[in-house]
Structures are given as structure tokens and as C-alpha cells.
Structure 1
């Protein structure tokens, strides 16, 4: 055959190899979520691609048969196509004893280079750049190849399956999406600018609600203003004026003896109507919703939804009141600073290397702000104050400090025995053992 005919055969083999190379990469790299969206939109080809991804045995067998057959044919045709012509060119430059070997080596290098560049690298890079588009284009021709080569595919695929079973290796890929996969997608979206940083944090907080206890979002018992059954009208007015809340717990002398709650608007109506504010005989006291401290944020939110309430008392196993959590508290746990009014920030950045942090700040907010991977034994505490008590092994005092993960945590304000505020400073030394 002439050089032109041989070149035509070589180019045809390269095109066939391109088809199998692009099919292999595009069908393997095509995103399942994107394909499902296309299938839902009515693209039947996406359904075919999903079917091949679910059972890839036949697909990979056909691809490997095609690639290996083309490679062998390319070597045979290439050697006979270029060797004589290269030998003619080398006739005046290379000794006669070396012409045959040299022309064969150069022919081999030329054919191999053409296949590597045109049949392997370029098509695979194109398929990686737009896998779904290429997969949709090539899926039907590939299915035709599978049908034509079905007997050979059956033999090789059956042998491969037997070997996989003998070695106990899974033959199908696991496409289950985990929380880590979702976090990775959100991080990639934030890096690409598709997601705002606050949006990313909010979405991560939603996934973390199942693992964060409700106690991390509640108002602790020390900050709860309550009305007592024994309070006279003057005392009730003073408490309501000093603590302008929408709802007040009603207790029998102490916080743990809860009798219900009262709505401040109903008390205002009684005052306008010149009625007394005697809680003992009043019908304004309603049954108080109570939840255990073992609930997570998501479970507490489900409780609010099911029972149509917007607040609840958090109580432990000893029937002691730990705090009160509202729907706004749960919303703040998810949306963070988006729902905090001015002046309510629990973490205030002084500069790029130091922060003032309220002692009751949830530990998850601290980890997110400081970008720390994990705090030690975080299941033993819920706030940054609890972290200090755990690390110091004592009740913290002013100026007590620890250094962890490149940050210095120093107690700067104490209210009785309560850690009120900490100063966190980034330091050069990273010592995780303190």
C-alpha cells in the first residue's frame, strides 16, 4: 500500500482509539447528580449513562478490548507504513548495517507518539473537561459496540467477576453521598465564589444540628428572669419593667419549682383593665413546655414544630432547670451573626490575631471562627468557658491561660465563679499538649 493509504489507516485507528479513550474517561468522571438532573429533565441519554455507571463491567470490557485491539493494529500497520520510507531517507546518512534497526526504532517512536498525543492525552483531557457532555454524545455508539461484542464481553466480564468474587473485591462503585462529600462540595463552592462565606457556614451549621446539644443554644438558668407566685403586684411590675421579655416563667419561690408561664401582653391587658396581677388566682398562667437536655438542636426544632411552641424550658434528669431555649436561639445557632442584633456578638475581633470571646459562646462557633480542626474531648463541654475549665482542671481565675493549636486562651473577666470573657490571641508556637 502507498504511504497515503497507510496514513489513512493510522488516522482511522487513532479516531477509534479516541472514541474508546473519551468514552472511558467521560463515563467514569460524569457526575451522578448532574446526570440525574438531566434525566429528570427528559434526556434519555442520561438514563443510559447512569445505567452503565451502575453496572460498569460490560462498559469497561468493551473499552479495553477496543483500546488493546487498536494498539496492536497500530503497531502492525505503523511499522509497515513508515519503516520503508524512513529507511529511504536514512540511506545517505546511516551505515547500511544500521538502517533497518534505526528505521524500525524511529517508526516505532513516531507511531507511539501519534497514539499518545492524538489518541490518548488529548481526548482524555477533553473528556475530563466536560465529562457529562461527552458521555451523552458517546453513550449510544458505545452501547452498539457492547451489543456487537456481546459474546466476547460475556466471557471476559464473567471471568473478571469470578476473580473479583474470589478476592472479595467489590465490582460496583459506591455512590452513596456522605456528609463529608457535601462539606467538600460546599468548600469548593466557597473557594470558587459560588457560595458566600456566611452561606457556607449556615449550611454547615444545618448539618451539625444533629450532633450539637440543645444546651449549647439555651439561655442558662443564671440569666433567666422569672415571676414567683408569692410576688405582690409591685414586685411583679418591677420584674417586668426590669426584664422586658415577651414570656415569663412562673415558679413557686425557686426556679426549679415551675408552675407554668405567663404572656406579658396578657399582663398588660389586665393592667389596662385595672385588674389585679395575682398569679395564684389568675387564669393567665399556662402550661410550660419542657424538654430534656439530651436533645440535639434538630430534635428541639422538631419538638417546636410538632407542638407549635416557640420556647421551652431545658431540664436535666434530676428535674433541675438548666435554661430556656427559644426558636430564635435555634435560628441563631444555624444562621449565626446574621440574626444577632448589634452589640450582641459573642465573638469580637480586635484585629486579625486577637478576639474577645464571651464565656458562654458555643464551642462550635469558636472552632469555626478560629479555624481549629478540633478541640480535645469536646463532648465534655459546650462553651468556651467549659473548655477552659476542662483544660485547667479547676475553676478558672482571672489571668489563667492555656495555649492550644497556635492560640493563647486567657481569662480576662470573672463574674463570681463564672468565666465572663476571654482574650484569644494567635501565637507563633503551636503546642497541642497544654
Structure 2
């Protein structure tokens, strides 16, 4: 019985080493740092062990190896000698007694070592890594010092072999943005965070990659006030606009003097007790100018430093491209928010037939959100465009007219309204599946013409009968950009 207890004690000691190893390796450094800040000396020791893995792992492996040797030797010397006579009484041949007893002892010790010396301790270490690491770290460090010469020799040998293999010890790497997002997502799935918290955190981590063109109100959509115009006309423009802040210029829109708030004019009218006494120029506030190459996070910092709520976006030539407000930035951070300045016409309206009526200024992320799509647009990462209108122009290669179509990636984009040269409104729907055509020379020729991206007027429409205007393919549109295919109604190359 004493022999069995000794072997059991050795197996449990092996389990202690295995648990120590996994507890230190599995511990999260942030939690250990917090425990150290709270005064736990064991946490500081655990951090020191994790920072020197060669010494720590050498100590553990020496302990596990020595225990395994002692367990096997002691079991063979004691248990086999006790078990052999019992097997002899069962009528086994004399030549089989000792080997049979050895096999039984090896199987029993192996089973106990795997369960009690490995699996159970490691499962416990996974459940409470930081707590166990802080308890075991100091005794393990003392043992490491006691075995320092041998551990040092093992460490030097291990490092030499690693250098021969061309490998180096890798320090703990700073988590990447994707890893942080993944950890937050896992915590959300586990119920630690609310879904809204995850959405905000994920958007915040992407804010530095958000370009101002995707947030700004384009210049063509801004409501400007011209100080050279009569007061009545400016007041009528303010009354008819859903906006509450208006860029102010004199004579030339490219030279904005500042911005005026409707509420300030209202307060001025109350004080003067007369609309005719309003002085728009006196209510103009300075405005912040930001280059369009800035990111949303850069703009947010500048808005905070300048204590302003909006900025004019300018290109490399100093021309105004649009305006971004603090509400726009917050919308990118927390999602779309309703404001008093929201346009009365939604930018994306779902129709009864399942199609979408979308504003040309709808940004690509907004399109993916409302349609539930996850694909990336062509060359989107190169900042070639940021809106559906920009996508259409990029793919078509010419200024479209009302009724022009583009089929791409299972979607059909139809221009339903143009505002001059600007795509104002689009009809977006799943692209229809073309009916199968008979394999005749004529249809084969038409197919080749469609595949080459025949444009309106070229005489080869991919989907005959669906629309009076041909459907340019992506390949055909790119040929337009290269000058090898003509736009609708234009001269042929």
C-alpha cells in the first residue's frame, strides 16, 4: 500500500508541474498586471517567469522528466515484484509472469499519469490560470534558482539549437486591430459586452481608415448664403432648407467667409425685433478648413482642439469639396443617428418589389448595410471613389444619362435621375438572369459583343429586351476608360 501511495504522490507532483506550466503560459498579462497593481507578489513573479520562458520551461521539464524516471523505476522495482506472485497463482506460465506483471504496472501507471498527472491539472490550469500562476510562481522560481546550473546548461543548449535552426525568441507582440476586434467579438458572443458596445468599438477602431469624402456633404448639396444677395432671398433659402448651419460667401463660392447658424440669426431678430435689421455678416463664425486627405480620427481631433462643430473639406488646390459636421463623425462612430438636419428624402428607400431607390451620394458602407452585402467594390481600397455615383462613373468611364444600366456582381444599377453631370438617383436591384439562348452563330457573335462590353449604340446589348439602353459590363466600362469604346451616343473609336 505504501508503494502505491508513493507512486500516487509522484504522479500528483508531476501534475503540479504540468499545471504550473500551463497556468503561466495561459495567463493573460493584463490580468497579471492588474493583480500586481493590487499588491499580489505572486503575480509579479509570474510575469517574470513568463518573460524568461527558457528558464521557466527548463525547470518544469527537468521536474517532469525526473518524476517520470523515478515513477517508472520505483513502479518496476516494487509493484512488479508484488504483482508477479499473484499472477503465478492464476496458472500463467512462469515465463509470462514477470512480463505480464510489468505490462499491467506500465498500463496502470501510464493511465494514472495521463489522467492525474496531465489532463486534470491542465484542465484546472485553463479554468484559473492567473490565480494558479500567482500561487505557484514563487515556489517555481525558488526551484529554478536551486537547479540553476543544470537549467542554465539546458537553456544555453536550447538557444544554440534555436540559432542553428534560424529561430529567435519572439517577444510578446502587441495585439493587432483585427485581434482586438476579434477579442471584443468573442466577449460579445459570451455576453460580456452588449451588441451595441461591440458595434461602437469596432467602428471606433476603423475610424482612422474612414476618409472624409465618405462622411462629407458634397459641395453641390450645401446651402450657401451669398452676402451680395438681398436679405429676403437669403432668409427664404434658410426657411426652405432642412439645415441649421450655412456656409457664407460673397460673390464667389470658392471663398467661404465662415458659417452662420440659423439660431443665431433668430436670436438677433428677437433682439432687433425686426427681420429687416438682420445682419448676416455680423453672425458669421470662423470655419475650420481640413484637407480631404485627412482621416475621420484626424478631423475629430481638430474639431476638439478648435472647439468647433464643423469643417470645410478642401482638395490639394484649396477648392472646397464639401462640409463635415461633428454629427457626421459621430454617425461613423455610433451608426446612423437622426438629426433635425436629416434630409426629408431618405437616401435609400426600399420599394415594394424589393429594389432600392438610392441617392447617388450613398457611401459604399451604407450600401452594404442596407442591402446586407459584404463584398468589396473594385479598387475600393485605393480610394478611387466613395459613393455609388463614383462607382458608376468609375465603371462606366463616361457621364451617363437617365436610363443607363450597369450589371455588376449580381446587382443592377440604373440611373433614374441626373442633376446636370451628377448622378442624383439610382435604382438598385438584383440583376436579372439572362434567358438561355440557342447556340447559333448569330447568338454566339452577340455573346462575344456583350462580353466585350458593348455600349449603347454599339448594336450589341447583353440583355436584349430588358431595356432600351444596353447594359455595360465591367470589362466594357474599363475599355471606355482606356478610350477603346465610345460612350452612349458618342463617336465610335
TM-score range for the pair, normalised by the shorter chain length = 0.7 to 0.9
Q: 1:385 — aligned with what?
A: 389
For 2:9 and 2:278, the matched residues in 1 are separated by: 95
Judging changes above 3 Å, is the alpha-carbon distance between structure 1 residues 350 and 90 closer, same or farther for their aligned structure 2 residues? farther
Query: Is the contact between residue 392 and residue 402 of structure 1 (CA under 8 Å) also seen in structure 2?
Result: no
Judging changes above 3 Å, is the alpha-carbon distance between structure 1 residues 284 and 292 closer, same or farther for their aligned structure 2 residues? same
Q: Kindly state the Cα deviation for residue 427 of structure 1 after the two structures are TM-superposed.
A: 11
Q: Kindly state the Cα deviation for residue 210 of structure 1 after the two structures are TM-superposed.
A: 1.1
Of 213, 224, 227, which residue of structure 2 is paired with 1:215? Answer: 213
Q: 1:408 — aligned with what?
A: 411
Of 39, 62, 65, which residue of structure 2 is paired with 1:68? Answer: 65
Aligned positions of 1:30-429 closer than 5 A: 30-91=27-88, 92-272=90-270, 273=272, 274=274, 275-277=276-278, 282-338=281-337, 358-367=359-368, 370=372, 372=374, 374-378=376-380, 379-395=383-399, 398=403, 400-404=405-409, 408=411, 410-411=413-414, 413-416=416-419, 417-423=422-428
Deviations 1:395-417 (A, max 9, x none): 5664734343xx53534743434
For 1:175 and 1:142, the matched residues in 2 are separated by: 25
* Residue aligned with 2:283, SS: coil
Of residues 223-232 and 366-375 in structure 1, the stretch that sits farther from structure 2 once superposed is 366-375
For 2:105 and 2:92, the matched residues in 1 are separated by: 15
Report the aligned-residue RMSD: 2.9
Query: Is the contact between residue 403 and residue 416 of structure 2 (CA under 8 Å) also seen in structure 1?
Result: yes
Of residues 94-103 and 57-66 in structure 1, the stretch that sits farther from structure 2 once superposed is 94-103
Deviations 1:179-218 (A, max 9, x none): 1221111110221122232321211111111111112111
For 1:29 and 1:362, the matched residues in 2 are separated by: 43
* Residue aligned with 1:337, SS: coil
TM value normalised by structure 2: 0.77
Query: Is the contact between residue 332 and residue 339 of structure 1 (CA under 8 Å) also seen in structure 2?
Result: no
For 1:103 and 1:251, the matched residues in 2 are separated by: 101
Deviations 1:125-156 (A, max 9, x none): 11112211221221122112112111211211
Q: Kindly state the Cα deviation for residue 27 of structure 1 after the two structures are TM-superposed.
A: 0.3
**Would you say 1:9 and 2:6 are equivalent positions?**
yes
Greater RCO (CA < 8 Å, at least 6 residues apart): 1
Query: Is the contact between residue 357 and residue 424 of structure 1 (CA under 8 Å) also seen in structure 2?
Result: no
For 1:135 and 1:204, the matched residues in 2 are separated by: 32
Judging changes above 3 Å, is the alpha-carbon distance between structure 1 residues 20 and 89 closer, same or farther for their aligned structure 2 residues? same
Of residues 337-346 and 136-145 in structure 1, the stretch that sits farther from structure 2 once superposed is 337-346
Of residues 36-45 and 322-331 in structure 1, the stretch that sits farther from structure 2 once superposed is 36-45
For 1:103 and 1:224, the matched residues in 2 are separated by: 92
- Give 5+ residue unaligned stretches, structure 1: none
